[in-house]
Structure 1
Amino acid sequence: MKASGIVRKLDSLGRIVIPKEIRKVLGIYDGDSMEIIKVDNEVVVRKYIKGCIFCGSDKDVIEFNGAIICDECRKALSQY
Structure 2
Amino acid sequence: MLKSTGIVRKVDELGRVVIPIELRRTLGIGEKDALEIYVDGERIILKKYEPACIFSGNAEELIYFKGKMISKEVVKELIDLYNSMTNE
Which has the larger Rg? 2
Show the counterpart of 2:86: none
Q: TM-score, normalized by length of structure 2?
A: 0.69
Indicate conservation of the 8 Å contact 1:61/1:68, yes or no: no
Provide structure 1 residue ranges, at least 5 long, that are not aligned to the other structure: none
Alpha-carbon distance in 1 for matches of 2:47, 2:20: 14
What count of residue pairs does the alignment treat as equivalent? Answer: 74
Q: 1:63 to 1:35 in 2, by over 3 A?
A: same
Q: TM-score, normalized by length of structure 1?
A: 0.74
Indicate conservation of the 8 Å contact 1:53/1:68, yes or no: yes
Show the counterpart of 1:35: 36
Give the fraction of aligned pairs with identical amino acids, expressed as a percent. Answer: 36
Alpha-carbon distance in 2 for matches of 1:37, 1:60: 19
Show the counterpart of 1:69: 71
Runs of 4+ in structure 1 displaced over 2 angstroms?
none
Task: Give the SS at the match of 1:77.
Answer: helix
Provide structure 2 residue ranges, at least 5 long, that are not aligned to the other structure: 81-88
Supply the AA of the counterpart residue of 2:15. Answer: G
**Greater share of residues in helix:** 2
Indicate conservation of the 8 Å contact 1:50/1:68, yes or no: no
CA RMSD, Structure 1 to Structure 2 (Å): 2.3
Q: 1:38 to 1:50 in 2, by over 3 A?
A: same
